[in-house]
Amino acid sequence: MTAIAENPSTGTLPRRRGIFPRPTKTTGALSWLTTVDHKKIGIMYGIGALIFFVVGGLEALLIRAQLATPNGEVLSADLYNQVFTMHGLTMIFFVVMPLGAAFINYLLPLQLGARDVAFPRINAVSLWIWVVAGLFVYSSFFFEGAPNGSWVSYFPQALVGPDPAGNLASDAVAIQQSRMLFYSMGLQIAGVASLASAVNFVTTVLNMRAPGMTLMRMPVFSWMSFVTAFLLLFAMPVIGIALWQMMFQIRFAGPFFDPLNGGDPVLWEHMFWLFGHPEVYIMILPAFGIVSEILPVFSRKPLFGYSAIVFSGIAIGFLGWGVWAHHMFTAGLGPVADSAFGIATMLIAVPTGIKIFNWLGTMWGGQIRFTTPMLFAIGLVSMFTIGGLSGVTHSLVPHDTQQHDTYYVVAHFHYVLFGGALFGLFGGIYFWFPKAFGRLLNERIGKLHFWSMLIGFNLTFAPMHLLGLNGMPRRYYTYADGMGWNFWNAVVSIGSLVIALSFAIFVINIIVSRNNPPAGADPWDARSVEWLTSSPPPVHNFDDIPVISDNDELWYRKYASTSDEDAPVRVAAGGSDDENPGGPYGDRVSGKTAKELGIHMPDPSWFPLLLSLGLPIAAYGVFFEDRITMTAFFAVGGILTFGSMLGWALEPSAEEDH
């Protein structure tokens, strides 16, 4: 659709094209539904992800209520399977990935000194497709139930209906078909959103940098976003194909993964993990980028080993493609494959270790301010290191075979995803909240949030190491008394309540902080150019595009020393006015709109939202055996989606204003 986009025009086209007039609202609900502004889109990603975080968190609490005592009876086995599967899918696809996307959306153009991403409307379509994908997956609860095969949904178990004893065999098959179709089609739709974002972000980084910003002057967060975008670009088509194959297997009996008809279930494992392993770096790299921004600011030192951090991020991106089979050591791949993937897994610890030592080097000898974002950043460095070390133990094949499918693995990946990614992302929220909303979050409540989250997190996940080493299997809905697991399971369940409490503190913090005084452009004495513009930034981000001459451009402008004297000399920011409120480089809102300044910004559009609505409608068609109903759903969804594409292609990105 990009192919014929951005081109109106014979000079006689009317402003109203087809059915929809161009939306013009800049405030209110309509403006959010039709916006193409990367900042509004980023905020919506963030809010949506936090809502899903509550949902996924409630599912986690249900799991822990069930497992708090032996022979728990809170959930039935069938419901437990659905709940833990949805917990995993939610946290991965609808919390951590989109929270990363929220930061990338909001910050990438600001950090690059650009006015928007390369394709603002594709950015909007990514958001809406992601939203409808989440709603689509959760709508499964209104039908035959949610997916229940865990987030990996291995075959042939994915073909087996729930509790065959309690259902007629044909009913069980129908139920399972519905659930697995929600899995395959839901993730398929979410994958389209990720792929569109990936194309957008790669293009933005390669093409939209401010004058003087060479690749090696980009802030580390932008670099990690760039690597993440490449991982998405190449991982999403692989899972896309695997999910289509799953759909063909389940809906059309195409025997891709059915061992009774010659299919190979291990192929699904390979395809899934060829996506799934890069996926874990897709989740963690934005958080690595965030702490690489936070640590220098609150240590008052430049990032130690900038290029080493950048190159180790790239190395993680590359090596991430060569380790997928370490998830499959018990699948019987043979000693050569197991050894090769074990060694590759050990290798990936090297660039990760380089990052950790560089972060320590950044703090070493710095004037550290223990603000809330800094605490969360240090939390990531320490908790991720624990998770990374238990990850290295998995590279030892016999060790991994012993731990496979036990709670030790659950402990490991929560230490990297919660202790790593989520700590980094929460740190990022505290750090950039004043930029996005103009007000700082309350520091005292923020610290309470951090400490309660740190304690709750460790209470929840540290004992899982012990449970796993004592043989407690993951994904079982209950366990017998007398296995020696009772005490630590009780502790884990209490810990999960502490995490819930800590999130409540965070919500309270947002509520009480809404009346804080304006933060100004640069409340943290920060280093990169997003702090050069006002908080919140105007629609066009910068009145004048900054010219970049240093890695820490804002820091350089504020404190660069001249060659003659070593005393720091302040360098005026382009277009800034020292009399402005909010600090020396402060609030530069000119009071003029972008168009009055002669800046052409893309106009809002209905088409991204409409395009996304067609996808779940078409996906529901797959659920019908009846050819006519199926075709009808395809037709309605297809007309909506392709019609929107056509309207989109014929609608110019920005209207002429004179």
Partner 1 sequence: MSTVDAAEHGAADHGHATNLGMSNEKLGMWTFIGSECLFFGAMIATYLLYLNRTNGGLTAFDVFDIPFTSASTFILLMSSLGMVLALDALHKRDMRGFQTWTLATAVMGMVFLAGQKYEFAFFVEEGFKLETSPFSVSFFMLTGFHGIHVTVGVVMLVILWALSLRGGITADKHTETVELVGLYWHFVDIVWIVIFTVIYLIPVG
Which of 126, 200, 312, 395 is close enough to bind partner 1 by CB under 8 A?
Answer: 200
Question: What are residue 161's phi and psi, to 5 degrees?
Answer: -70, 165
Window 229 to 248, contacts with partner 1 (CB under 8 A): 233-234, 236-238, 240-242, 244-245, 248
- The CA–CA distances, whole Å, from 23 to 32, 423, 540, 605, 654 equal 11, 38, 18, 6, 12
553 to 592: interface string for partner 1, x by CB under 8 A? ----------------------------------------
C-alpha to C-alpha distance for 83 and 65, rounded to whole angstroms: 12
CA-derived radius of gyration, the chain: 25
Count of Cβ atoms closer than 10 Å to residue 237 Cβ: 13
Contact 561, 568 (CB under 8 A): yes
Residue 228: CB minimum distance to partner 1, A: 14
Residue 127: CB minimum distance to partner 1, A: 17
Q: Is 78 in the site for partner 1 (CB under 8 A)?
A: no
Upstream peptide bond of 608 is cis (omega within 30 degrees of 0): no
Q: Is 37 in the site for partner 1 (CB under 8 A)?
A: no
Looking at beta carbons only, is 91 or 195 nearer to partner 1? Answer: 195
Which of 295, 454, 599, 609 is close enough to bind partner 1 by CB under 8 A?
Answer: 599
Which of 545, 618, 619, 622 is close enough to bind partner 1 by CB under 8 A?
Answer: 545
Looking at beta carbons only, is 44 or 274 nearer to partner 1? Answer: 274
Looking at beta carbons only, is 261 or 339 nearer to partner 1? Answer: 261
Residue 265: CB minimum distance to partner 1, A: 11
Q: How far, rounded to the nearest angstrom, does the alpha carbon of residue 591 sit from its chain's CA centroid?
A: 34
Residue 196: CB minimum distance to partner 1, A: 9
- The CA–CA distances, whole Å, from 434 to 153, 374, 408, 558 equal 41, 15, 39, 20
Dmax (CA) of the chain: 87
Contact 5, 653 (CB under 8 A): yes
C-alpha to C-alpha distance for 147 and 129, rounded to whole angstroms: 20
End-to-end CA distance of the chain: 28
Q: Is 115 in the site for partner 1 (CB under 8 A)?
A: yes
Looking at beta carbons only, is 155 or 423 nearer to partner 1? Answer: 155
DSSP letters spanning 485-496: -HHHHHHHHHHH
Q: From 109-117, 162-170, 325-333, 456-464, give the range in contact with partner 1 by CB under 8 A.
A: 109-117
C-alpha to C-alpha distance for 346 and 504, rounded to whole angstroms: 39
Q: Is 15 in the site for partner 1 (CB under 8 A)?
A: yes
Looking at beta carbons only, is 14 or 591 nearer to partner 1? Answer: 14
Which of 14, 28, 332, 517 is close enough to bind partner 1 by CB under 8 A?
Answer: 14
Looking at beta carbons only, is 241 or 511 nearer to partner 1? Answer: 241
Question: What are residue 414's phi and psi, to 5 degrees?
Answer: -75, -30
C-alpha to C-alpha distance for 391 and 83, rounded to whole angstroms: 26
Q: Is 3 in the site for partner 1 (CB under 8 A)?
A: yes
C-alpha to C-alpha distance for 639 and 409, rounded to whole angstroms: 45
Non-local (6+) Cβ contacts of 524 within 8 A are: 297, 298, 371, 373, 431, 434, 531
121 to 140: interface string for partner 1, x by CB under 8 A? -x------------------
Looking at beta carbons only, is 224 or 545 nearer to partner 1? Answer: 545
Would you mind telling me the total number of residues written for the chain in this entry?
Answer: 658
Name the residue among 38, 51, 160 with its Cα closest to residue 101. 38
- In a 3-state reduction of DSSP, which class is residue 454? helix
Q: Is 202 in the site for partner 1 (CB under 8 A)?
A: yes
Residue 17: CB minimum distance to partner 1, A: 10
Contact 373, 431 (CB under 8 A): yes
Which of 23, 254, 471, 584 is close enough to bind partner 1 by CB under 8 A?
Answer: 254
Residue 600: CB minimum distance to partner 1, A: 5
Which of 186, 263, 456, 614 is close enough to bind partner 1 by CB under 8 A?
Answer: 263
C-alpha to C-alpha distance for 397 and 402, rounded to whole angstroms: 9
Looking at beta carbons only, is 146 or 618 nearer to partner 1? Answer: 618
User: And the tokens for 340?
Assistant: 């090769």
Which of 133, 146, 227, 271 is close enough to bind partner 1 by CB under 8 A?
Answer: 271
Q: Which residues on neighbouring strands pair with residue 17, listed in sequence order?
A: 20
C-alpha to C-alpha distance for 224 and 317, rounded to whole angstroms: 9
Q: Would you say the C-alpha torsion 187, 407, 72, 78 has a positive or negative sign?
A: positive
Looking at beta carbons only, is 253 or 483 nearer to partner 1? Answer: 253
Looking at beta carbons only, is 66 or 153 nearer to partner 1? Answer: 153
Which of 139, 150, 174, 264 is close enough to bind partner 1 by CB under 8 A?
Answer: 264
Q: Is 7 in the site for partner 1 (CB under 8 A)?
A: yes
Which of 24, 26, 157, 207 is close enough to bind partner 1 by CB under 8 A?
Answer: 207
Residue 563: CB minimum distance to partner 1, A: 29
Q: Is 646 in the site for partner 1 (CB under 8 A)?
A: yes
Window 274 to 303, contacts with partner 1 (CB under 8 A): 274
Looking at beta carbons only, is 103 or 542 nearer to partner 1? Answer: 542
User: And the tokens for 445?
Assistant: 């409540």
Residues that bind partner 1 (CB under 8 A): 2-16, 114-116, 118-120, 122, 195, 198-200, 202-203, 206-209, 233-234, 236-238, 240-242, 244-245, 248, 252-256, 261-264, 267, 271, 274, 545, 599-602, 642, 646, 649, 652-656
